[in-house]
Structure 1
Amino acid sequence: MRNQQMKRHARRMRRNGLQPMVVIDSNGPVPDLAAVIIARGLRRYRSEIGPIALALVLVAASLTLHLSHPGWWIGILVTAMVSASALTLVGDRVGLALRIERLYAATVALSAGGWLAAATAIGVTYRPLPQIILVGTPVLSVPWWVHRRRRARVRVERTLAAWPEISQSVGLAGSRVMSAVVDVWGWRARFGLARGQTIQDAIGKIPALESALGTFRGAVRVYPTRDDRANRFELRVLNIDPHANAIAWPGPSVATITEPIDLGPFEDAAPARVLLLRRHALIGGIAGSGKSGGINVLMGNLSACGDVVIWAIDLKRGMELQPWAPCIDRLATTPEQAHALLRDAVAILEARADHLASTGRRVWDPSPQMPALVIVIDEYAELADDAPEAATFTDSIARRGRAVAVTLIAATQRPTQKAMGKGAVRSQMDVRMSFRVRERKDVDLILGQGMLSAGWHAHTLNAPGKFLLSAPEHDIPRRARAFLLSDQAVSEAAQKHAEGRPTLDEVSRQAPEEATTLVSADASETPLDESASLDGSESGESPEAALWSLVVTAPDEGIPVPLLIQASGKSRRWVYYQLNGLANSGRAVQVSRGRWRAIHSKRDDVP
């Protein structure tokens, strides 16, 4: 009613040419507006006024407890002491990662609990309790107010409060904040995506997110959540680069190739572990990006494994791998040596496959007596240029080496089709390490087609040793930094691990010699028997009969298996199958590795 009268009075004043005076009711909008402003201010600066609020709560609690339960002071004091001890010992479990944070929290808990116990027992007005809380509150608040992580938490809260506008501007409208945590390096938050949005959409918006959040370039990461939900993602924002400085190698992380090797830490300090058994690896990156450091980490761990024999190819005359020579069983530094090494590796591969077939097994299980063979090739492109015929051998190793534990590790600046050959070498590399590349398209060359668009931005790596790791157990783009091995560390590790290095097993040692014997027999123009060809198929003789005719007439030292392969015209596996059948029936015996003969008392038998 009063408002209507005021409106009528204002209209009459306007008709008379007078300006009405506005009078606002004391119960009107001004008090409501003031309350809203105050509430918003308290909420926005709740972190800053937190210590004052705690002091007021202590005063109110002490007044209530002193009047109703003054005898509770003992329990309050014990609780404060226990809480302070717990915060000191296990405060990291509640987000207090730094020791100084835990000590500060324990000090505040003990001080507040002690004051509350005293005020409960004797009253809050008893001197000097009022003076203590008036002076102690600002003194203990100073670390809280200046603490970097507290300030960072406030900034993060303000940023996330504006997320609806940010999401709208970057093209992720409808996404929502689910949780957020501030850590030593920055902060991370979990987001729920709107219907139809995927984590690939978020990865594609990383540059826009960096701009909207006001970070430096390369500071934003997008990862799947731990539950791997398709409609969620984790956003990580770095204020400080955890990989800004080199990280010294702590020593080998494995003693067997059957365990994953630790290459270096990810940005969250988790180890970048990768298994190399039955996998081939490709290492790429421009000069100065840290490839040699990555190879040193691999060599340091492989040299500590007691079930690995290391062969290496370094066509820069051994400049990179020569320091590891005490741990390398065979090092090739010229194109001719590299060709011979790879040729012998293929022979070993085939011999191991035949041995597995003859014994009824499918895979070669590494052990000190039967070690795996790892071939490390530095600057693979040089091998393709200087020894192009070796590409056939590397292609064979890449396709057939897994089951027999012959592993290929190739490092190159740009794994182009020309450098890697036209075969299966690059496509068979299960483990990919990409150090910094100069051009965006090189990301797909090293890590695989489509990896650049999926968020694997190796061209943004900004320091030597930083890399992206793609492997069956690492399918999201996470930055890591390889451990750094100084020249002294390499020398010490090589000398330490040189003792007790395993040697090739008998099957593998004999394989290159047998392959050479077969090649020599193929090159010879004179057959063993001048009256007939060694190939039983050409003389009309069955392969079984041709094989037996040579076994039964073999000298005491036996006949090499390559000659039996040539005589029968069959594969190595078929020959070993026949020989094992003859041995099981007591008609033939293996004299030594790769040499067989018939048992003397039954040489006149017919197969």
Structure 2
Amino acid sequence: GGEQTNDDVARALVRIASALDLPQSAVRYQPSADSARRGELVIVPKDMLNETVEWAGPSNPGGSITDPLVIGQYDDGSPLMVWLPGDPDVGRNASHFLIAGGTGSGKGDAALNLMTEILSRGDVIMWLSDPKAFQDFRPLLPAYDWAVEGGADTEAMVEALQHVIPARTGWLGKHSYRQWTPQAAQKQTDPAHSCAASGACGCPGMPYMVAWMEEAANTLRNLGDDAFTGIAQEARSAGVSLIVSLQRPSYDQMSTSTRASLPSVIALGCDPRDEGFSLPESVINQGAHPGAWGNRRPGYCYVVSGGIDPERYASPGRTQQFTTRAVSLMETLAEWAVRNGATADPITAGAAKAVVGRAYTGRADTDETEPTTVHDQDDEITTGTQLDPEDAAMDPEQDLPPAQQGDDTPGLFGTDTGRKPSPEEARELFARALDEFEAAGQMIVGPKDFMDWCDANGYSRPWVSARLRDAAAEGRLQPTNQTGRWRIVPALTPA
């Protein structure tokens, strides 16, 4: 007493591991909250995580998202579990997660463990942004409510999420929910959770929602931290969890504000210099060192989150491994989710549709035209002159119109020659281009998206920028958080 403190023990952990001829992660120290010189020294002489455990399916298919999500096991053999929604009875807040790990650390398997647990529950929907074109997640694609590959589509998803969150919060408030509970996902038949003064309102329920941003470094860089920080700060009260996955959560990848808004973390192996970005200093002082693993222990991780005993924070765990044998089971899970899982409620779907139109509503189009039958040329012989439909009304005896000024300039749609459009025609063409972007589901645009259009029509980027500003003044576009990027306001469709 008076000579040494718990901090001295924390600094000595690596020497204790050396004395016992054990890896650094096998020795950890849990200081007492009531004493500066007392605590518990934990030594794990045999690593129970050496053998990989293959994923055998979700732990609780058909259960609620409020039930624990099992993503692996600790080094003592106990299940490694996390929670997403809050629980007012135990005082647990809803969780946003950061999944961090270097190349080869098993970050993809960790994501699949968590994702398959989420998708197997019956009262949750998920949005996914994955710039890697669903390289790891393709067997699960049918199960997502909305999935995009990145770029402008991810911008649209983030923009929609910013509008969906207050809409969901408003619905929960009107139905007297202080935070999301499983009851909120059911049809509202309880007068205590009614938006009507006369009794039960019967409104459709609102499932929990998970917004997953995979390989988020580029997204953070393109959209700015403000977008994610605002979402993370407001989403908990809306029954939404944000999950961000990236390799290095360092200051040059995300701001301290965004990092602080993601307090829960699954920290896999990393460069020793990046440990402080993944884990709180207090957990590192207890002996947690993901930098000691690097990419040599795929799946090894530390998990810090609400619902987990803080004494467990420095205990290593390992996620289950996904091999090629898991693909068929993942496809089966996706089919089950389509048939039995939750679908977006009218509030969530309506808010997303109002902001990004077909970028959301067209995500699951399944309309297919009948395949064209190619007949054998020997069976059917077509006679008569065949005309292009555009030429059907043309009089072959009528003279061609006289030449006009500009007929020797580049054409409108990439033809060799053509008349340069008047300002009115050019504005009409620009409006048509916006319609085409909207029809294709691309709801976030900027000058760079019009470069091919400029080349085809002979207009400069400054001219397009001016037209974008005009369209914004007319209400056809709205500015986003990113300079020079605009969100297309869906055109009203006649009833």
Partner of 1:263: 71
Q: In the alignment, does 2:415 pair up with 1:415? A: no
Is the 8 Å Cα contact of residues 373 and 405 (structure 1) preserved in structure 2? yes
Matches within 5 A, 1:97-246: 197-213=4-20, 215-218=21-24, 220-224=26-30, 231-238=38-45, 240-246=46-52
Q: In the alignment, does 2:213 pair up with 1:382? A: no
Q: TM-score, normalised by structure 1?
A: 0.49
Whichever residue aligns with residue 346 of structure 2, its letter is: E
Q: In the alignment, does 2:280 pair up with 1:477? A: no
Aligned residues with identical type, % of pairs: 24
How many pairs were matched up? 319
Q: In the alignment, does 2:130 pair up with 1:314? A: yes
Partner of 2:344: 504
Matches within 5 A, 1:344-493: 344-366=160-182, 367=185, 369-385=205-221, 388-389=222-223, 391-420=225-254, 422=255, 424-438=257-271, 440-449=272-281, 451-461=283-293, 462-472=296-306, 473-475=308-310, 476-493=313-330
Partner Cα distance (2:331, 2:225) in 1 = 30
Whichever residue aligns with residue 48 of structure 2, its letter is: P
Is the 8 Å Cα contact of residues 16 and 27 (structure 2) preserved in structure 1? no
Structure 1 range deviating more: 368-377 or 446-455? 446-455
Partner Cα distance (1:276, 1:208) in 2 = 37
1:558-596 Cα offsets, whole Å, 9 max, x none, are xxxxxxxx9xxxxxxxxxxxxxxxxxxxxxxxxxxxxxx
1:149-181 Cα offsets, whole Å, 9 max, x none, are xxxxxxxxxxxxxxxxxxxxxxxxxxxxxxxxx
Partner Cα distance (2:31, 2:10) in 1 = 13
Whichever residue aligns with residue 342 of structure 1, its letter is: V
Whichever residue aligns with residue 209 of structure 1, its letter is: I
Whichever residue aligns with residue 127 of structure 2, its letter is: W
Whichever residue aligns with residue 298 of structure 2, its letter is: P
Partner Cα distance (2:55, 2:42) in 1 = 29
Partner Cα distance (2:6, 2:72) in 1 = 26
1:71-124 Cα offsets, whole Å, 9 max, x none, are xxxxxxxxxxxxxxxxxxxxxxxxxxxxxxxxxxxxxxxxxxxxxxxxxxxxxx
Q: Name the CA shift for 1:390/1:343 in 2 (closer, same or farther; >3 Å).
A: farther
Identify the match of residue 156 of structure 2 among 319, 323, 340.
340
Q: Name the CA shift for 1:220/1:502 in 2 (closer, same or farther; >3 Å).
A: closer
Partner of 2:414: none
Secondary structure of the structure 2 residue equivalent to 1:398: helix
Structure whose residues are more often helix by fraction: 1
Partner Cα distance (1:423, 1:357) in 2 = 30
Unmatched segments (≥5 aa) in structure 1: 1-193, 518-565, 567-607
Whichever residue aligns with residue 108 of structure 2, its letter is: S
Partner of 2:200: none
Is the 8 Å Cα contact of residues 443 and 451 (structure 1) preserved in structure 2? no
Partner of 1:581: none
Question: C-alpha displacement at 1:332, in angstroms?
Answer: 0.8
Partner Cα distance (2:327, 2:262) in 1 = 27
Question: C-alpha displacement at 1:211, in angstroms?
Answer: 2.8
Question: C-alpha displacement at 1:251, in angstroms?
Answer: 2.6
RMSD: 2.6
Is the 8 Å Cα contact of residues 29 and 286 (structure 2) preserved in structure 1? no
Partner Cα distance (1:362, 1:396) in 2 = 20
Is the 8 Å Cα contact of residues 395 and 423 (structure 1) preserved in structure 2? no
Partner Cα distance (1:287, 1:306) in 2 = 33
Matches within 5 A, 1:284-299: 284-299=100-115
Q: Name the CA shift for 1:299/1:487 in 2 (closer, same or farther; >3 Å).
A: farther
Question: C-alpha displacement at 1:431, in angstroms?
Answer: 1.3
Partner of 1:305: 121
Question: C-alpha displacement at 1:375, in angstroms?
Answer: 1.2
Unmatched segments (≥5 aa) in structure 2: 86-93, 187-204, 358-474, 476-495
Is the 8 Å Cα contact of residues 351 and 507 (structure 1) preserved in structure 2? yes
Is the 8 Å Cα contact of residues 159 and 355 (structure 2) preserved in structure 1? no
Question: C-alpha displacement at 1:314, in angstroms?
Answer: 0.6
Partner Cα distance (2:109, 2:245) in 1 = 11
Is the 8 Å Cα contact of residues 398 and 428 (structure 1) preserved in structure 2? yes
Q: Name the CA shift for 1:232/1:195 in 2 (closer, same or farther; >3 Å).
A: farther
1:14-43 Cα offsets, whole Å, 9 max, x none, are xxxxxxxxxxxxxxxxxxxxxxxxxxxxxx
Is the 8 Å Cα contact of residues 197 and 231 (structure 1) preserved in structure 2? no
Higher relative contact order (CA 8 A, sep 6+): 2
Is the 8 Å Cα contact of residues 302 and 316 (structure 2) preserved in structure 1? yes
Is the 8 Å Cα contact of residues 95 and 305 (structure 2) preserved in structure 1? no
Matches within 5 A, 1:58-69: none
Partner Cα distance (1:426, 1:491) in 2 = 36
Question: C-alpha displacement at 1:412, in angstroms?
Answer: 0.6
